[in-house]
Structure 1
């Protein structure tokens, strides 16, 4: 049975992981954008440019379209940064696809030392989560550095959009009665 303190600590780990991934993603996007953009030696203004917005375009519609484009390119990931479970039992993954995500996700957890697939979900609809599940592979008691890879897909077409990753530490405890 979990204590409130442990639940609070787990939630804090998940929130810190989400924050770290978002900050890391923004930094990576900024770096990639800067690496792809060549700076001209001399900036020249366009002589045919007209001041103002293009006639016939509603600013509210334009803003809504920009927000849809930004939303489509964003991926919110949520997983327990320190999942744990007993050998042969369930692990508290706490993998969530937030209700406001607007896309399917699926998650694969791999060991960093061997590349072995430890666990994978099926597609998660927005507003669903996996609280706990057994790993897909048998693991001995111990700590495992893992990478959780989140894959996102369009809701209507189920077309692949992109991926994001998070590092987690999986702890497997000995089975009840083992080694006693």
Structure 2
């Protein structure tokens, strides 16, 4: 029973941080009337708060990888219509781009898929995506400072 309580107590701060960051992104979307919260950002929040010291959770990786995912999605859409095949290609291109730039962040592959399937206007989507990833990073920073036993985040900024 004691172990269960200790485990639950350890989960609460991280869960709270993830929910707070995602609620902030949802609130931004509600304020501006644009859907900002996409599935890949929820996955990024989980990566960032569950494994904050890993390279995949560092600010540069989170922000750059999602932007590369969006770019891959738009590049594929410029060459082919939206389909499961083109979505798979965009995800693969994102994987390659994030590997080559040393910004591996698997949720960014989902961002490419979202772009291919939803075709959001780039002039609105890309700045919102950038802002949302910055909100996630700031949420991780705040959470690591508020919870004393949490690992320090970020390990490195760039």
| Alignment TM class, shorter chain as reference | 0.3 to 0.5
- Higher relative contact order at CA 8 Å, sep ≥6: structure 1 or structure 2? 2
Of Structure 1 and Structure 2, which has the larger fraction of its residues in strand?
Answer: 1
Larger Rg: 1
TM-score if structure 2 supplies the norm length? 0.35
